[in-house]
């Protein structure tokens, strides 16, 4: 075998006009629109956010002034509103996520039983909320929760109960219901797809061994769906931590008179795009939020991997 | 489940869950057919009335829904068509063409899918430099292609377009673009349909970025129009809900006939991802 042949075998893609070089050329060409747009409008802004956060910077008002990490210092040591927004965000996430994923699992499990008829119809009904816009959802739930004329207060016999203003945790609970109404169906669909991959023999064997449906749910369904449950959990971390539209539309940009439903994202939005256009401080909120979300996602990953294994 | 009681409980559970899922739609419908005065009655009225067209007219005039609808159609139309083309093209390259750095690019896409979106401030500065504030391009251009779309279609190609098919097309002398256009596209039509519905729905419902860059009435989208209605006419519940209902109807009109395919497509994409 000659040297020339050897190198040709090793690197065929460099041969001019060959299929491999054409493939490479088309490959780069075809992915370039995505990477070009993404770099300019997606990646660069996330990185540049760091730079902006080092300035005292108001849009349309004077020159930006470099202040180092001062924004972060203020944010973490001297801003009770920000701390409140963090607590609110986590409180709503905890109230929403566990019931949301658990209920979705149960619905998927029941819907997947062989005897259930009208499966398509149930599935469509349960998934329908996902189609609605957040603005519309919040408008309609705002009406359902209304203090003096709301249907929910009528059903519960609690006329006069102000879901938004009477109690901070109650207002979180109301938001949680809006969130879960929209997302339970989505998670159900994902879980149902996952259930198709579990072999029927597992259930049959369990039935022969005398396991009840409830036992099957906890000892077969949940462990078998582990990767998919993790997927939905991480999705809900990223979504729930960025909760925004429901508090904004229901309670206004300040997240209520007492900031009781103000979330991290809403606080960033107000700071950067409210009257002040304080983008330096807003960018710092963005970065802290970013780090909180990543850390919390990793934490969730670790805890749930361990929990579901046992 | 053999026992009739178990079956009964299962059905009861499913009926209740379905009822709760659908009821707010019915409630939107009821409020949008009632007068404002009816919306402030206790106990609440549970049956529809006949005020729908009066409400619609008022909402339409108050918040210039015509302009909002046209703007929304321009945005959703452009974004959906462009996503189908650019995402499938990039997905084809990533799934079926060999080139250096392909795996890295793929990993890059997956990472960006999970990153939280906090780039709004610099993005605003870029858009402002381009003079696109209060210009539909501010929401169209950044959305022309998405990591989600590329990933979804790539999964679809992996599963449904056999590599040998591509090879045989090459042997027959097809150029890469011909292979994409004549062989890959027809096979992945169902995947494209899923992406089209998801993109259309997402763009139609999009609100956050729109509310930042589209502040002028002439560039409002439907979501901004109903938010404006709700923020301005707080006491006129029937009018506001009519706006929300009308903004939701087109989505239901698309979703209900295609729900089977849409649900299957969405689930497939997520489970494989």
User: Which of A30, A190, A294 lies at the smallest CB-CB distance from B92?
Assistant: A30
Q: What is the mean pLDDT of chain B?
A: 90
User: Contact at 8 Å (CB) between B105 and B95?
Assistant: no
Per-residue confidence band for A172, with pLDDT thresholds at 50, 70 and 90: very high
B8 shares contact with chain A (CB less than 8 Å): no
Q: Would you say residue A62 lies in a domain?
A: no
User: Which of A44, A149, A272 lies at the smallest CB-CB distance from B44?
Assistant: A149
- With a cut of 50, say whether residue B129 has pLDDT above it: yes
Minimal-distance CA residue of chain A relative to B173: A19
Q: Would you say residue A57 lies in a domain?
A: no
Most confident of A254-258, B14-18, B153-157: B14-18
Query: Which structural domain range is residue A141 located in?
Result: 72-309
CA–CA separation, B95 and B161 (whole Å): 9
Same domain, A270 and A210: yes
Element (H, E) at A55: strand A55-56
User: Which of B92, B144, B260 lies at the smallest CB-CB distance from A120?
Assistant: B260
Residue % of chain B over a pLDDT of 70: 97
Query: Which structural domain range is residue B80 located in?
Result: 71-218
Q: Would you say residue A13 lies in a domain?
A: yes
Report the gap between the CA of B165 and the closest CA in chain A (Å).
15
Q: Would you say residue B65 lies in a domain?
A: no
Same domain, A272 and A147: yes
Residue A204 tokens, joined? 């049959």
Residue A56 phi, psi (nearest 5): -85, 110
Residue B58 tokens, joined? 């008022």
Per-residue confidence band for A242, with pLDDT thresholds at 50, 70 and 90: very high
Q: Would you say residue A66 lies in a domain?
A: no
Concatenated DSSP letters for A64-106? -EE-TTHHHHHHHHS-HHHHHHHHHHHHHHHHHHHHHHHHHHH
Q: What is the mean pLDDT of chain A?
A: 89
Span A56-97, pLDDT tens digits: 999 888 889 999 999 999 999 999 999 999 999 999 999 999
Residue A147 tokens, joined? 């203090």
- With a cut of 70, say whether residue A219 has pLDDT above it: yes
Report the gap between the CA of A31 and the closest CA in chain B (Å).
4
Same domain, A86 and A223: yes
Bridge partner list, A56: A65
User: Contact at 8 Å (CB) between B65 and B228?
Assistant: no
- With a cut of 50, say whether residue B151 has pLDDT above it: yes
Same domain, A208 and A293: yes
We report the CATH number of the domain holding residue B178 as 1.10.3720.10
A269 shares contact with chain B (CB less than 8 Å): yes
Report the gap between the CA of A34 and the closest CA in chain B (Å).
6
Q: Would you say residue B62 lies in a domain?
A: no
User: Contact at 8 Å (CB) between B125 and B167?
Assistant: no
- With a cut of 80, say whether residue B1 has pLDDT above it: no
Residue A203 tokens, joined? 């259930």
Per-residue confidence band for A14, with pLDDT thresholds at 50, 70 and 90: low
User: What SS3 class is residue A278?
Assistant: strand
Does B126 sit within 8 Å of A45, measured CB to CB? yes
Q: Would you say residue B149 lies in a domain?
A: yes
Interface of A with B in 27-66 (CB under 8 A): 27-31, 33-35, 37-38, 40-46, 48-49, 52, 59
How many structural domains comprise chain A? 2
Same domain, A153 and A258: yes
Q: Would you say residue B81 lies in a domain?
A: yes
User: Which of B11, B100, B122 lies at the smallest CB-CB distance from A49?
Assistant: B122
Bridge partner list, A278: A58
User: Contact at 8 Å (CB) between A276 and A49?
Assistant: no
Q: Would you say residue A60 lies in a domain?
A: no
Does B270 sit within 8 Å of A231, measured CB to CB? yes
- CA A180 vs CA A98, A188, A264, A290, B255: distances in Å: 10, 12, 19, 23, 20
B39 shares contact with chain A (CB less than 8 Å): yes
Same domain, A20 and A168: no
We report the CATH number of the domain holding residue A152 as 1.10.3720.10
Residue % of chain A over a pLDDT of 90: 62
User: Which of A115, A148, A234 lies at the smallest CB-CB distance from B1?
Assistant: A115
Span A16-31, pLDDT tens digits: 677 788 888 888 999 9
10 Å Cβ neighbour count for A62? 9
Q: Would you say residue A296 lies in a domain?
A: yes
User: Contact at 8 Å (CB) between A161 and A144?
Assistant: no
Q: What count of Cα atoms within 13 Å lies in the side-chain half-sphere of residue B133? A: 10
Same domain, A171 and A237: yes
Does B21 sit within 8 Å of A128, measured CB to CB? yes
Does A144 sit within 8 Å of B7, measured CB to CB? no
Closest CA to A131 of B266, B136, B269: B266
Interface of B with A in 128-167 (CB under 8 A): 128, 141-142, 144-145, 147, 150
Span B162-217, pLDDT tens digits: 888 888 888 888 888 998 998 899 999 988 988 998 899 999 999 999 999 999 99
- CB-based contacts of A234: which residues, under 8 Å, 6+ apart? A297, A300, A301, B114
- Peptide linkage before B61 cis (omega within 30 of 0): no
CA–CA separation, A282 and A270 (whole Å): 8
Of A32-41, A77-86, B107-116, B197-206, which range is least confident?
B107-116
Same domain, A34 and A88: no
How many structural domains comprise chain B? 1
Q: In this predicted structure, what is the pLDDT of residue A3?
A: 41
Does B226 sit within 8 Å of A135, measured CB to CB? yes
Q: In this predicted structure, what is the pLDDT of residue A12?
A: 47
Q: Would you say residue A91 lies in a domain?
A: yes
CA–CA separation, A197 and A216 (whole Å): 16
User: Contact at 8 Å (CB) between A14 and A244?
Assistant: no
Same domain, A194 and A232: yes
CA–CA separation, A236 and A77 (whole Å): 29
Q: Would you say residue A65 lies in a domain?
A: no
Same domain, A180 and A223: yes
User: Contact at 8 Å (CB) between A179 and A240?
Assistant: yes
CA–CA separation, B236 and A123 (whole Å): 34
Report the gap between the CA of B92 and the closest CA in chain A (Å).
8
Same domain, A172 and A263: yes
CA–CA separation, B150 and B86 (whole Å): 8
Same domain, A125 and A20: no
Greater pLDDT, A210 or A177 = A177
**Long-range CB pairs of A243-246, under 8 A, 24+ apart, other chains included:** A243/A89, A243/A92, A243/A93, A243/A175, A243/A179, A244/A269, A244/B208, A245/A134, A245/A135, A245/A138, A245/B207, A245/B208, A246/A134, A246/A137, A246/A138, A246/A175, A246/A178, A246/A179
Q: In this predicted structure, what is the pLDDT of residue B270?
A: 63
Closest CA to A91 of A254, A232, A249, A262: A262
- With a cut of 50, say whether residue A4 has pLDDT above it: no
């Amino acid at each position: 075998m000659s040297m020339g042949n050897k190198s040709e075998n090793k690197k065929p893609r460099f041969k001019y006009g060959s299929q491999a070089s054409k493939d490479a050329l088309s490959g780069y060409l075809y992915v370039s629109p995505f990477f070009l747009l993404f770099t300019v409008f997606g990646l660069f802004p996330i990185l540049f956010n760091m730079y902006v956060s080092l300035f005292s910077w108001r849009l349309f008002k004077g020159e930006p002034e470099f202040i180092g990490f001062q924004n972060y210092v203020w944010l973490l040591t001297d801003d009770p509103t920000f701390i409140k927004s963090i607590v609110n965000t986590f409180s709503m996430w905890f109230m929403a996520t566990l019931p949301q994923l658990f209920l979705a699992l149960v619905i998927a499990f029941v819907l997947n039983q062989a005897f259930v008829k009208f499966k398509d119809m149930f599935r469509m009904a349960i998934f329908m909320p996902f189609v609605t816009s957040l603005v519309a959802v919040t408008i309609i739930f705002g009406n359902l929760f209304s203090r003096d004329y709301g249907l929910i207060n009528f059903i519960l016999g609690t006329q006069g109960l102000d879901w938004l203003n009477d109690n901070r945790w109650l207002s979180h609970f109301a938001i949680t219901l809006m969130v879960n109404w929209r997302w339970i169906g989505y998670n159900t669909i994902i879980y149902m797809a996952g259930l198709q991959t579990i072999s029927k023999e597992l259930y049959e064997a369990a039935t022969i061994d005398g396991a009840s449906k409830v036992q099957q749910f906890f000892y077969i369904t949940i462990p078998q769906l582990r990767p998919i449950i993790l997927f939905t959990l991480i999705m809900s971390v990223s979504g729930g931590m960025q909760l925004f539209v429901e508090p904004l539309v229901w309670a206004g940009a300040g997240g209520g008179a007492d900031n009781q439903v103000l979330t991290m994202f809403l606080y960033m939005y107000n700071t950067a795009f409210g009257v002040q256009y304080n983008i330096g401080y807003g960018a710092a909120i963005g970065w802290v939020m970013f780090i909180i979300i990543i850390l919390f996602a990793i934490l969730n990953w670790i805890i749930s991997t361990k929990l579901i294994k046992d | 489940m053999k026992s009739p009681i178990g079956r009964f409980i299962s059905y009861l559970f499913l009926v209740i869950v379905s009822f709760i899922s659908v009821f707010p739609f019915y409630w939107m419908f009821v409020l949008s057919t009632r007068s404002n005065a009816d919306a402030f009655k206790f106990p609440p009225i549970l049956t529809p009335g006949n005020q729908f067209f009066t409400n619609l007219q008022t909402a339409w005039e108050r918040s210039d829904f015509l302009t909002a609808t046209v703007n929304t159609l321009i945005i959703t139309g452009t974004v959906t068509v462009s996503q189908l083309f650019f995402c499938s093209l990039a997905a084809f390259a990533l799934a079926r063409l060999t080139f250096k750095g392909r795996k890295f690019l793929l990993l890059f896409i997956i990472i960006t899918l999970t990153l939280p979106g906090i780039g709004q401030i610099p993005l605003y500065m870029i858009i402002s430099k381009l003079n696109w504030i209060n210009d539909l391009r501010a929401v169209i251009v950044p959305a022309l292609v998405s990591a989600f779309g590329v990933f979804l279609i790539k999964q679809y190609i992996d599963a449904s377009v056999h590599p040998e098919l591509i090879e045989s097309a090459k042997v027959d002398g097809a150029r890469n673009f011909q292979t994409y256009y004549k062989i890959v596209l027809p096979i992945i039509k169902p995947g494209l349909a899923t992406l089209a519905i998801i993109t259309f729905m997402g763009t139609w419902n999009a609100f956050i970025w729109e509310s930042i860059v589209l502040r002028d009435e002439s560039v409002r989208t439907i979501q901004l129009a109903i938010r404006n209605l709700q923020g301005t006419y707080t006491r006129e519940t029937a009018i506001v809900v009519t706006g929300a209902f009308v903004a939701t109807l087109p989505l239901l009109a698309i979703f209900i006939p295609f729900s089977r395919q849409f649900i299957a497509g969405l689930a497939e994409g997520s489970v494989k991802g």
